[in-house]
Structure 1
Amino acid sequence: MILGQSLSQIVVLVIAVILSMSIHEAAHGLVSYWFGDPTARQAGRLSLNPLAHIDWSGLLCLLLFGFGWAKPVPVDPSYYKDPKAGMIWTAFAGPVANFLLGFVCVFLYYLLLKLAPGFAFGTVGSFVESVFATTAILSTGFGIFNLIPVPPLDGSKILFAFLPDQEYYRVTRGTPWMYILFIALLWSGLISGPIGMLRGAMIDAFSSAAMFLLGM
C-alpha cells in the first residue's frame, strides 16, 4: 500500500491505520468489561492509546500488503452471565466502532468544508481532509472485513455463538483448516471486490447523512 506513495500519503495512512485498529480493539475490551469481564481493563486495553493495541508486525503488513492485525484484546467469556450473548456483543463491538469512526470522519470532512473552505483547500487543511477521508475509508473497510465469518475474524465469533453448545465450544478452539481458509481468502483476492462495493455504499450513505445533518 505504501509503495510509490509520498511521505505525506504514508503519514496519512499510518494515522488512519492506527486510529482504526485502536478504536476497534478498545471497543472489544470496553464491551467485554461492561459484561463483567475485567481482563481487558487489567491488561490496560481499555485505553485509546495506540501503543496499547498496535502489533508492529501487523501494522507493517497492512501498510505493505493491504491486510494486517492489531494485538487481540484478551477477553474471558466465563465472566459473562451468558457467555454466548456476551461474546456476540463483544465481537460485534469492534466493527461497530469502526463504522462509527468512519461516519465521524466523513462528518468532520464535510464540516470542515462547510465552515472553513479556504483552510480546507490549503496545505494543512488538505492534509487534515486526507486524514479524515482515508480514516473513513480504511476504518469502514476494516469493520466490514472483520465481519467475515471465518476465524479468527469477529464474524466467526458472532456466527458460532448461534451453534449448539457442544459444537460452539469445539469450533471456537479452532482447527487448522479454518486458518488455512482465512489465509487463502486473503491471498486469493476474492473478498476484495465485495468489500470494496460494501465500503463504497457505506461511505456514500455516511456522506448523504452528513450533508443532510449539515444542510449541504
Structure 2
Amino acid sequence: MPFARFSDPGYLLALAVIFIFALPLHELAHAWVAERLGDPTPRRYGRMTLNPMAHLDPIGALMLVLAGFGWARPVPVNPLYLRYGPRVGMAVVGGAGPLMNLVLAGLGIMAYRTLPQIWPLPGFAFQFLGAWVFINVGLAVFNMLPLPPLDGYRVLQGLLPPDLAYAYARLEAYGPLLLLLFLILDRQLGLLGSVLQPFYWLVFRLMHTL
C-alpha cells in the first residue's frame, strides 16, 4: 500500500491521527445518521462519542497497522427503528461511515494543495497529508466491499430488490469467515490492491492537479 513505510514519521503520525480521529468519526457518522433516522440504540450504547476507546476493535486496528486498512467496532443499530424501513435505512446508515472517510480524504487533498501556497511545508507534513489521504481512501473502499459485516454489505442489501436482498442476507451468518477468506486470498492474489488501485490513481491525480 502507498506510504506503508514505518520508517516515515509522517506515516506513523497519520496512523495515530487515524486511530484518534478518523476511525471514531467513521463510527460516529453511522451512529449520528442512525439517530437522525429514529434509532436511539447508538446513544444508549455510548457510541455517540469521539472517544476512540468506545469504537476500538483490536483486530481491525491491527489490520490498519499491518495492511493500511481495517475497521472499528460496529455501531449497534436496531433496523426496526429506522425511517424508510430496515433495508433502506440500514443502507443509508452503512454508507455514512465510508462517506465520512472520503470527506476526510478530501479535506486532506485540499490541505495538500492549498497550504504550500500560504507557507512552506516541511517534507514531514507532505508525508503526513499523503498518508492521511491514502489511508482514508483505503478505509472507504475497503469498508464498501459487499461482504458482511462491512458497510458495503448493508448498502448493497438496501439497493437489491426484496427477494434478492433476502437471499443475500443469508450470507451474514458466514460474514466473518467470508471476510477472513477474502483477506487470505488477497495475500495471494492481491485482490484488494486491484480494487484500490484505480481509486489511488484518481487521488494521486487530484493531489497533483494545479
TM-score category, normalised to shorter length: 0.7 to 0.9
Of the structure 1 ranges 19-28 and 101-110, higher mean CA displacement relative to structure 2 is found in 19-28
The 3 A distance-change label for structure 1 pair 129 and 3 is: closer
The answer as to whether partners of 2:30 and 2:97 remain within 8 angstroms in 1 is yes
Of the structure 1 ranges 57-66 and 166-175, higher mean CA displacement relative to structure 2 is found in 166-175
Q: Cα offset for 1:135?
A: 1.3
Q: Cα offset for 1:157?
A: 0.9
- Counterpart of 1:103? 106
1:200 pairs with 2:197: no
Which of the numbers 83, 86, 89 marks the counterpart of 1:86? 89
- Counterpart of 2:44? 42
The answer as to whether partners of 1:146 and 1:155 remain within 8 angstroms in 2 is yes
Q: Cα offset for 1:202?
A: 3.6
Q: Normalising by structure 2, report the TM-score.
A: 0.82
What percentage of aligned pairs have identical amino acids?
Answer: 32
Q: Distance in 2 between matches of 1:30 and 1:14?
A: 24
Q: Which runs of 5+ in 2 are unaligned?
A: none
Q: Distance in 1 between matches of 2:204 and 2:168?
A: 40
- Counterpart of 2:139? 142
Residue by residue over 1:152-180, the C-alpha shift from the partner in whole angstroms, topping out at 9 and shown as x without a partner, is: 1111111122242695387267233x433
CA RMSD of aligned residues (A): 2.8
The 3 A distance-change label for structure 1 pair 103 and 205 is: farther
Of the structure 1 ranges 80-89 and 99-108, higher mean CA displacement relative to structure 2 is found in 80-89
Matched positions, count: 203
1:5 pairs with 2:6: yes
1:156 pairs with 2:153: yes
Point out 4+ residue stretches in structure 1 off by more than 4 angstroms: 1-4
The answer as to whether partners of 1:141 and 1:195 remain within 8 angstroms in 2 is no
The 3 A distance-change label for structure 1 pair 204 and 92 is: same
The 3 A distance-change label for structure 1 pair 197 and 4 is: closer
Q: Cα offset for 1:28?
A: 0.7
- Counterpart of 1:73? 75
Q: Cα offset for 1:93?
A: 0.6
Q: Distance in 1 between matches of 2:66 and 2:18?
A: 14
The 3 A distance-change label for structure 1 pair 105 and 170 is: closer
The answer as to whether partners of 1:17 and 1:135 remain within 8 angstroms in 2 is no
The answer as to whether partners of 1:20 and 1:135 remain within 8 angstroms in 2 is no
The answer as to whether partners of 1:37 and 1:79 remain within 8 angstroms in 2 is yes
The answer as to whether partners of 1:15 and 1:131 remain within 8 angstroms in 2 is no
Q: Normalising by structure 1, report the TM-score.
A: 0.80
- Counterpart of 1:132? 129
Determine helix, strand or coil for the equivalent of 2:46. coil
Q: Cα offset for 1:83?
A: 1.6
The 3 A distance-change label for structure 1 pair 45 and 129 is: farther
